[in-house]
Amino acid sequence: MKTNFVTEPAESSRINEDTIFCDNVNHVYAIFDGATSLSGFKDKNGYSGGYIAANIAKQMCKDFRGKTDTDLLNLLLTVNSELKKQMITNSIDINNKTELWSTTAAIVKIQDGWVNWAQISDSIILMIYKNRTYKTFGEKRNHDQGLMLLLKDLKHRPVDNAKEVIMKYVFDLRNRSNIDYGFLNGEPEATKFIAHGKVKLSELSDIVLFSDGLIPLVNDPEFDPQYDEFITIYKQSGVKGVKDWIRNLENSDPDCNSFIRNKAHDDISIIGIVLNS
């Protein structure tokens, strides 16, 4: 088994709200992508709520390291409970969704011939099978799709108050978290949005975990991303190749006209696990 990873912020001067966890001894791998608190919260060190949430999750993976009976669902539930506890300690209004410290999660544990996995929101687990098929484990409906469609509409029919329209949608969307889509953010309702399961290790050639900054770009947000080119590049050039591919596409479209998105660059994180044949 061989693992490689890349993680970098959207811009060199920006704090990376993604974090990764790689434990090659116990074969546990995870990506957490923090979602910035819309209240603009920063702690005394200048860290956002999203950064704090993702790093709390990472620390809890470290705390569980080596516990062979650890169930990934229970691990994520424990992370969710810890987030609530930490927010209360820091006087965060836990009844205001826009203030909550929030993070996605994608985690796998390889043990006894199985790949156990758990996931919430739009960090993705991509499993590549030996028969050259693949399957993604993640959010079945992109919760940002409505925002992308709004941005597309505003490009074709501009309005004077576009920023206000967009921010209203963003706040409304965050207020639908753990109602329409999931986040780990201390709310007990997150439980129903945590997907989990297991796959036979012998069927797989590779496992790739990545944050939404590496979801393949699409020209029209009406359509779902396709992973064939992603997998081809990954097989040829590894995780760095995938990162460079996405960054080159972003750089070729700084105004987000060809690939509709809400920012020119996003934080990106990817872990590639090449399994023994």
pLDDT value, residue 74: 94
* Closest C-alpha among 169, 156, 151 to residue 260: 151
What total of structural domains would you count in the chain?
A: 1
Q: Can you count the helices (H) and strands (E) in the chain? A: 5, 11
52 pLDDT above the threshold of 60: yes
152, 220 contact by CB (below 8 A)? yes
65 pLDDT above the threshold of 90: no
pLDDT tens figures, 164-214: 999 999 999 999 999 999 999 999 999 999 999 999 999 999 999 999 999
pLDDT tens figures, 73-109: 999 999 999 999 999 999 999 999 999 999 999 999 9
User: How many other CB atoms are found less than 10 A from the CB of residue 175?
Assistant: 13
Both structure tokens of 23: 């434990």
CATH code: domain of residue 250? 3.60.40.10
DSSP string, 191-242: GGG-EEEEEEGGGEEEEEEE-GGGSPP-S-TTS----HHHHHHHHHHHHHHH
pLDDT value, residue 140: 65
Q: Which pLDDT band, with edges at 50, 70 and 90, does 13 fall under?
A: low
The residue segments making up the domain with residue 66 are 2-274
